[in-house]
């Protein structure tokens, strides 16, 4: 790609560029929706400021269009490359930060990711989300409360994760449903289920986003994690993960910037034959257990 040599900008050129920005910004003045007007005008100012700051070349502009076209072409009902792009640029985490302000000890939110699927099967309390996915069994339990410490009964908890090979069910071609489910808290706000001990894995990097990461020397690997989405009446919906304490990838860096210290949890290894909380027989294999107590903020804060 051609590099651009920085040269002084004449007053005449500066005035020409300023005039174009003003013209494009004013083209949105007639928008009926005030929020839409504000967003489009701000976007225009920031986009033009970026172009002018780096003195974008026509070749680079063309490459950018090709890149975005490729992102669209690889996106389908099972792969959302635009979400992936947003994630690796930190835009997803910044949007989450803006929309999930800290409130009285509420659990931190983090990225949604591209692998959520609606209508995951329901399991009972103590059920197993694995659905045939391979990996070390892991018992997860905890409570859901509001920020005043009151238990939240009947909260819906969606959980999803990859298998031990680092793949989500939607990345396979056989229409399997595995490593995902939903369940509800009991009248004391408690929940519990069997899942798999999370493992690090690379985000899909065989497409344009992966090529971009390779070009800038960044790893596509995500720190080991388990996804949660928790919803309850009159409380703010929480989208978050828990991460595995001691996972080396946390120090190396999570490719989508999703790790927060408060979400790093201890996954305690259990030897084969160690009694399980629900009497499940695991005499021939190791397993793990972790606790994640969830605190939901009020809706609208």
Q: What is the pLDDT of residue 77?
A: 81
Distance (Å, whole) CA 200 – CA 291: 19
User: Between β-strands 221-222 and 238-244, what pairing exists: parallel, antiparallel or unpaired?
Assistant: unpaired
Average pLDDT over residues 146-158: 98
Q: How do residues 61-105 score in pLDDT, each as one tens digit?
A: 999 999 999 999 999 887 889 999 999 999 999 999 999 999 999
**SS3 annotation, the chain:** CCCCCCCCCCHHHHHHHHHHHHHHHHCCCCCCCHHHHHHHHHHHHHHHHHHHHHCCCHHHHHHHHHHHHHHHHHCCCCCCHHHHHHHHCCHHHHHHHHHCCCCCCCCCCCCCCCCCCCCCCECCCCCECCCCCCCCEEEEEEEEEECCCCECCCCEEEEECCCCCCCCHHHCCCCCCCCEEEEECCCCCEEEEEEECCCCEECCCCCHHHHHHHHCCCCCEECCEEEEEEECCCECCEEEEEEECCCHHHHHCCCCCCCCHHHEECCEEECCCCCCCCCCCCCCCCEEEEECCEEECECCC
Do residues 170 and 78 make contact, with C-beta atoms less than 8 angstroms apart? yes
Q: What is the pLDDT of residue 1?
A: 46
Q: How do residues 127-149 score in pLDDT, each as one tens digit?
A: 999 999 999 999 999 999 999 99
Do residues 84 and 204 make contact, with C-beta atoms less than 8 angstroms apart? yes
Does the predicted model carry a pTM greater than 0.75? yes
Average pLDDT over residues 239-249: 97
Residue 2 predicted with pLDDT over 90: no
Average pLDDT over residues 267-286: 96
Residue 42 pLDDT level (bands cut at 50, 70, 90): very high
Percent of all residues in the chain with a pLDDT value above 70, rounded to a whole number: 98
Average pLDDT over residues 102-124: 94
């Amino acid at each position: 790609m051609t590099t651009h040599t920085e040269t002084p900008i004449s007053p005449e050129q500066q005035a020409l560029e300023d005039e174009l920005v003003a013209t494009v910004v004013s083209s949105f003045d007639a928008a009926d929706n005030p929020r839409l007007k504000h967003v489009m005008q701000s976007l225009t100012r920031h986009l033009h400021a970026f172009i002018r700051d780096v003195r974008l070349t026509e070749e680079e502009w063309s490459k950018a269009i090709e890149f975005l076209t490729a992102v669209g072409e690889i996106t389908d009902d099972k792969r959302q490359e635009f979400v992936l792009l947003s994630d690796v640029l930190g835009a997803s985490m910044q949007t989450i930060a803006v929309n999930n302000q800290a409130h009285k000890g509420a659990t931190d939110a983090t990225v949604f990711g591209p692998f959520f699927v609606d209508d995951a099967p329901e399991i009972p309390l103590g059920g197993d989300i694995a659905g045939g996915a391979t990996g070390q069994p892991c018992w997860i339990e905890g409570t859901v409360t509001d920020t005043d410490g009151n238990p939240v009964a009947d909260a819906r908890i969606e959980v999803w994760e990859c298998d031990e090979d680092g793949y989500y069910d939607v990345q396979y071609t056989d229409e399997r449903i595995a490593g995902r489910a939903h369940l509800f808290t009991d009248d004391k706000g408690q929940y519990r289920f069997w899942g798999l001990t999370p493992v690090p894995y690379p985000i899909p990097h065989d497409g344009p986003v992966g090529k971009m990461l390779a070009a800038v020397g960044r790893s596509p690997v995500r720190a080991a994690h388990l996804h949660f989405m928790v919803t309850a009446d009159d409380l703010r919906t929480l989208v978050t993960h828990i991460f595995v304490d001691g996972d080396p990838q946390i120090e190396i860096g999570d490719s989508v910037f999703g790790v927060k210290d408060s979400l790093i949890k201890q996954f305690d290894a259990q030897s084969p034959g160690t009694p399980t909380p629900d009497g499940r027989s695991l005499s021939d294999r190791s397993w793990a257990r972790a606790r994640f107590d969830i605190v939901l903020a009020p809706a609208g804060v």
